[in-house]
Structure 1
């Protein structure tokens, strides 16, 4: 795995409790949509030397000029240090790595199932697909508690308009706690929803990303919906 020295370009809050961080893309750094990288602090907190690095899915697509990650801002020494970095501060990245990348058989649709911040590896795939005009059917089933918590929701809605091969199925599980209007799906991703979506697709391959318990549960529900294990792809999730 290669290491690269780079600098932080900026960061911003994108939804409640979730931040995006942007880095200069080092010369020679290339990756496939869906892959990840380690972000390594040059000057890690002295009180917690184990917090020098963290693995994140790469949210930006290969065609973009910068590298981006997105993460829930949990109270950890690493994330406090990352947030405190000044624009232009040096940082190191190592990678890329990971195999949660889009399959090559364009005749077989892809169904991405994401819970919360598990959306990150799929953003790179969907951005690149829209840029390339990829002639492959792509469906994203995206679960969040509320629209306020749904990272990239507005961008995903725009991508759906741009790419006629892409369909977004977003669902909210706690709309009673939301102050925003929502006309889409509500409730957890269940067998009924999955069967309804998958029944419209010829031999789809399904990808899962999210909290470990959610991934395990969705794997079971996909099996109940008739999807064979050979057509389900998961990977340890990066980004918490």
Structure 2
């Protein structure tokens, strides 16, 4: 009986009030973030669906522009790398990728936040390392990495289609803008966290077998 009680206590762990308060605050913040991004994405989808007067953020490849910033309003040449443009109407070739990007963003946020909330709930019950929590961590990491890469891909399709419409194909804009270092760093962090949970799960099972 004493051995079983010690084993159960070892599985439950110990959480201070500060730990519990922090996890609960994390859960509330996560739910609020998921709700906010979902609402803003739905509003964006509705705007894209109308196809009229939709502002689109564009990234340029060092596009030179003239702006009256000099003395007495003289024009100064600037290199524009990012700006928002608004087309009177957007064709389906622009709106469809934009809508797909927003849908993927909603699904990605829901999956990532959902996994992290389930992980926090498990920790609140005293269980940190097990196969279920490892699966939750890896699912959240991989979904976030792939999902946000897909969102960026579809946003680039929307941006380039919008530029083509506004400029009548007169502007040579960057087709795809990708920051590989960001994704490599994110993949490395996800791999490290996943490895920690795998090792922690194995060590905990070995420790429980010795009790």
TM range (shorter): under 0.3
Between 1 and 2, higher relative CO (CA 8 Å, sep ≥ 6) is seen in 2
Structure with higher strand content: 1
State the TM-score, normalizing by the size of structure 2.
0.25
Structure with higher helix content: 2
Structure with greater Cα Rg: 2
State the TM-score, normalizing by the size of structure 1.
0.23
